[in-house]
Structure 1
Amino acid sequence: MRICMIGTGYVGLVSGACFADFGHDVTCVDKVPEKIEGLLAGRMPIWEPGLEALVKHNAGNGRLKFTTDLAEGIRDADAVFIAVGTPARRGDGHADLSFVYAAAKEIAGALTRKAVIVTKSTVPVGTGDEITRILHENGAPEGTSVASNPEFLREGAAIRDFKIPDRIVVGAEDEFARDVLREVYRPLFLNKAPILFTGRRTAELIKYAANAFLATKISFINEIADLCEAVGADVQEVSRGIGLDNRIGPKFLHAGPGYGGSCFPKDTLALLQTAEKEGVGMRIVGSVVEVNDARKAAMADRVRDVLGGELQGKKVGVLGLTFKPNTDDMRDAPSLALIRRLQEGGAEVVAFDPVGREQAEPMLPGVTFAEDAYTVATGADALVLVTEWDEFRALDLRRIAAVMRGNHLVDLRNVYEPSDVLRAGLTYRGIGRGELQG
């Protein structure tokens, strides 16, 4: 199959490279010349494990191409995927669909024969209807169809998620679109990946409903963690106890500083806006958003508490800046709210992240960036573990204690056992694990 992928961001580049690896002929299009120039030179615009090798392999054998010329990209394409950004609009939380609609208009003018136009971007219910209208009004060839094919990729595990998916969702209104997308995903049938065909609006809603439910699990266990601290229980054991129930499951029941990233924050807001527009109350999702926003801001209070209620003149080390491990994505990362609150309180902040520094530096003025965890700890009054990168899981705690000015470890991901931290000569404050240890 001949595929055009519009957008070389996280979703577009991973999807395009994986489609090419299946044997399809893929052309990725982006309006930003620097991104295309970088990709042609083998430089990735994002950090994702395994992506660079996958892109270079398929570009080398001619199955994966890059261009800024949309007309060149969609020439003779069977399927054109729209994978551009849909960020939350400032002020109202609505998904900004301007990039999607601009792409649709350009596609209409460039198509030379009918094709299936597929929204891979996360878009509100009814977006496919508007794309259909735009294509018709701008002269798209007769028979051109519009489908929804939401992505379910986890940053840090995106290639595996694409190639071994839990499910493939296709929202289509005609057999032409279903046939083309069935052929596009045929290589995955060997893995027995379930493919769910629905109406277009249903597919659009599935993506938002899935992310809102996962965000709900996170906010739920974070509130349970607060209760655990109040009553002297251990949220780690509570999570395991309820997660062993196969009706609940263990995933997304890890207490922490709140969710961030490119999906959950904007998708929950967009779902709320859709519900409000339709006059439907969504109090649960609304509460999830409120709980998460408050939680990220409150993490600095935990640091203040271990420092005796005073941040002024204190030095705080921060380990991990990205919203999760194995990505350089800083969008809505909990570290941002934490560090800003620490700085507002008068603290000096030193930070280290294995891959996120380039993205983080412009977002965190006044922060000193170090080269490793031990440099961060040197002279610090408190050390805060924010992102659970593998290299932070087995630190030499005695060495940490020896170089710090203070002796406080605030573990926002519950990576360490309190007893191990105490034996190293540090105090311990985790999430949902009772009172301050040490």
Structure 2
Amino acid sequence: MRVAMIGTGYVGLVSGACFADFGHDVACIDKDAGKIERLQRGEIPIFEPGLDALVAENVEAGRLSFSTDLSSAVPEADAVFIAVGTPSRRGDGFADLSYVYAAAEEIAAALDGYTVIVTKSTVPVGTGAEVEAIIRRARPDADFSVVSNPEFLREGAAIEDFKRPDRVVVGTEDDRAREIMREIYRPLYLNETPIVFTNRMTSELIKYAANAFLATKITFINEMADICERVGANVQEVARGIGLDRRIGGKFLHAGPGYGGSCFPKDTLALVKTAEKAGAPTRIVEAVVDVNDRRKKSMASRVIAACGGVVEGKTIAVLGLTFKPNTDDMREAPSLDIIPALQKAGARVRAFDPAGMKEAAKLLDGVEFCKGVYETLDGADAVTIITEWDEFRAIDLERLKGLMRSPVMIDLRNIYRPAYMAAHGVKYHSIGRADSSFAAE
């Protein structure tokens, strides 16, 4: 099959490379000429494990190409995927669909023969209908179908998620479009991947519902962590105890500083706004958005409390800046709330992240970025772990004590066992565990 992928951001680039690896002929299109030139040179603009090799292999095989010229790729394509950004709109929180609609107008001008146009971007219910209307107004003669095909990729594990997904969701009631989408995803049949065919509006809502539910699980276990700290319970054991129930499941039950990233914050907010517009307000999701925002803003107070209530003139080492490990994505990362609050309280901040410092430097002022864990710890009065990168899981505690002014660790991801840290002479604070120092707050 011949595929045109409009947009070479996270979703577009991963999807395009994976489709090419399935054996399809994929042209990835982007207006950013600089980005396209870098991709043509083999430079990957995002950090995603394995993506550089996947792109290189398929470019060499002649199945994957990059261009700014939509008009040459679309006429040849059996399916055109729209994978542009849909950020929260300034002022009202609705998803900004301007890039999606602009892509639809350009696609309309280039259509030649029957084409399936697929919204891969995360879009509110009814967007597919508007995309169809835009194209129909521009090209009443065009032969096309508009399909919804939401992505469910986890940053840091996107290639695995694409090639071995839990399910593929396709929103269409057009038989021709259904057959083309079956053919595009046919390589997944070997894995017996369920393909859920539904109408377009249902498909669009499935994406938002999935992200809202996962965000709710995270927020729920964070609130349970707060209860644990006050009653002497252990949130990790609570999570295991409820997660073993197959009706609940253990994923996304890890207490921490709150969710961030490119999806959960904007998608929960967009769902709230969509529901309000439809006259069916989502009180649960509204609460999730509010509780998560408050949680991220409150995390700096935990660090300050661990330092005796004052950080004026103290040096705080921060390990981990991105919203999760195995990505360079800083969007809505808890560090963006925590670090400025520490600085406002008078702390000097030194930080290290294995992949995110280039992006972090654009968003955080006055931070001393270090080359590694131990350089960051050197001379610090306390260290806080914000992102659970693997290399933070086995810090040499004797070396830590030798480098820091005082061996104080505030672990916002519960990487270590409190008893282990106590045995090594580290004053340790964690989230939602009976021996947490925050129980008396």
Please state how far the C-alpha of 1:143 moved relative to its aligned partner. Answer: 2.5
Match of 1:245 in 2: 245
Higher alpha-carbon deviation: 205-214 or 423-432: 423-432
Partner letter of residue 213 of structure 1? F
Match of 2:174 in 1: 174
2:41 & 2:156 partners in 1: Cα distance?
23
Cα offsets for 1:264-312 (capped at 9, x unmatched): 0000000000000011121100000011000001000000101111121
Matched residue count: 438
Match of 1:402 in 2: 402
Structure 1 runs, 4 residues or longer, greater than 6 Å off: none
Q: Is the 8 A contact 1:212 1:264 kept in 2?
A: yes
Cα offsets for 1:81-124 (capped at 9, x unmatched): 00000000122110000000000000000112220000000000
Given the alignment of the two structures, is residue 163 of structure 1 paired with residue 163 of structure 2, yes or no?
A: yes
SS at match of 1:371: coil
Please state how far the C-alpha of 1:13 moved relative to its aligned partner. Answer: 0.3
Partner letter of residue 227 of structure 1? I
Cα offsets for 1:47-79 (capped at 9, x unmatched): 100000000000011000000000112131000
Match of 1:120 in 2: 120
Cα offsets for 1:350-391 (capped at 9, x unmatched): 000001111110101100000011111111111000100010
Given the alignment of the two structures, is residue 285 of structure 1 paired with residue 310 of structure 2, yes or no?
A: no
Higher alpha-carbon deviation: 62-71 or 135-144: 135-144
SS at match of 2:233: coil
Q: Is the 8 A contact 2:229 2:436 kept in 1?
A: no
2:153 & 2:432 partners in 1: Cα distance?
29
SS at match of 1:52: helix
1:437 & 1:20 partners in 2: Cα distance?
52
2:141 & 2:26 partners in 1: Cα distance?
21
Match of 2:350 in 1: 350
1:311 & 1:280 partners in 2: Cα distance?
46
Match of 1:335 in 2: 335
1:326 & 1:32 partners in 2: Cα distance?
25
Q: Is the 8 A contact 2:418 2:435 kept in 1?
A: no
Match of 1:107 in 2: 107
Matches within 5 A, 1:18-417: 18-139=18-139, 141-417=141-417
Instruction: Give the TM-score normalised by structure 2.
Output: 0.98
Q: Is the 8 A contact 2:86 2:95 kept in 1?
A: yes
Report the identity percentage. 64
1:108 & 1:142 partners in 2: Cα distance?
8
Cα offsets for 1:290-345 (capped at 9, x unmatched): 11000001000000101111121111000000100000000000111000111111
Q: Is the 8 A contact 1:59 1:65 kept in 2?
A: yes
Instruction: Name stretches of at least 5 consecutive residues in structure 1 with no aligned partner.
Output: none
Q: Is the 8 A contact 1:153 1:161 kept in 2?
A: yes
Instruction: Name stretches of at least 5 consecutive residues in structure 2 with no aligned partner.
Output: none
Partner letter of residue 48 of structure 2? E
Partner letter of residue 221 of structure 2? I
SS at match of 1:117: strand
2:225 & 2:214 partners in 1: Cα distance?
17
Please state how far the C-alpha of 1:141 moved relative to its aligned partner. Answer: 4.5
SS at match of 1:75: helix
CA separation of 1:282 and 1:115: change in aligned 2, threshold 3 A: same
SS at match of 2:224: helix
Partner letter of residue 432 of structure 2? G
1:280 & 1:175 partners in 2: Cα distance?
32
For the aligned residue pairs, the C-alpha RMSD in angstroms reads: 1.0
Q: Is the 8 A contact 2:324 2:388 kept in 1?
A: yes
